[in-house]
Amino acid sequence: MKNEMPKIPNSNHKLLKKGTKLVLSAATFGVVAAGSFQGVNYVVDNYNKQNTTVQSTNVVKTSSSTTSTISEVAKNCMPSIVSITNVSVSDVQNYFSMYGNNSRSNPFTQQESTSVGSGVIINKKNGEIDILTNYHVIENAKTLTCTLADNTNVEATVKGVDEDRDLAVISIKTKDLSSDTLKQIAIATIGDSDKLQVGEQVVAIGNALGYGQSVTTGIVSATNRSVSTSSDTDKSQSYIQTDAAINPGNSGGALLNMSGELIGINSAKLSDTDVEGMGYAIAISDVKDSINTMLQGKDVSTSSNTPSSSYYQQNNEDDENDSTFPFDFWN
């Protein structure tokens, strides 16, 4: 049976107040660091410790039932969540170059900025710990720093990206971590987002506003919600819609079921004064092939970035049901 996906009102809908608009915002928190930067400043502490075996890293405990409390899910899953700090350099307009003797100089100047997001530990192998996050969290990174469950800071490198699906895998070296840190972090258990039902309770964990990990909860408001960017309506993504609070800094963080299994990557929210409780997470079952490719140290190219057959069956039977919003990236 075809899954109907009603359109969400856009900025021209008659029910919206004049002059307002809906903005689907990536849940990344960013601040420009150009002399006036104020925000979270993470310092990389590289521990050149002895390599540790795979068995020293815990795996998130999951429940066979759905009766776990929110506090139990948070306690078991928090060790698999990391905070990510991205220091990037971008070109900005140099207005002084348009006047005087500088009129022919470079019209752009480089400016450093810092943004923060979240990630989920999904793998540990060959001396590396792999972390799944959003592509927009690590985009244009000059340096990436991960803050782990025990507040240890360690530098990370990009392993693979899937720009179209807004996903990336970054990795850190186990040799840079102490044995105590390795005992305190955990690998997330991947769940099956295809089994989610509307109304099911979920838990979101992420680095909201860069203050460190925080926990919110809500229900699954809709599944297989198709949303496109206004700049390219040919590209759509299958999202889990939830009313769990998703805030700047939550990007790349975990959406978990009540068994403590990872069923989504929190990515964006619908932001407007007239809108409440509309957050979006990438459904984990739709992107397993992409994740496996990135874990191999490869980028997912546009030509090979073909969603699974189930994605097409559920989302592309009737394109007129797609909803389109402009993305506003806070980083």
Positions marked catalytic: 136, 166, 251
Q: How far is CA 236 from CA 51, 123, 224, 311, 316, in A?
A: 42, 28, 11, 11, 9
At a CB cut-off of 8 Å and minimum separation 6, what does 53 contact? none
| Pick from 178, 143, 145: nearest CA to 48 | 178
Residue with tokens 């490198």: 157
| Pick from 111, 114, 64: nearest CA to 86 | 114
Is the CB of residue 160 less than 8 Å from the CB of residue 136? no
Please tell me the distance from the alpha carbon of residue 163 to that of residue 177, in angstroms, as a whole number. 29
Q: Do the strands 23-26 and 262-271 form a parallel or antiparallel pair, or are they unpaired?
A: antiparallel
Residue with tokens 């189930």: 310
Is the CB of residue 117 less than 8 Å from the CB of residue 251? yes
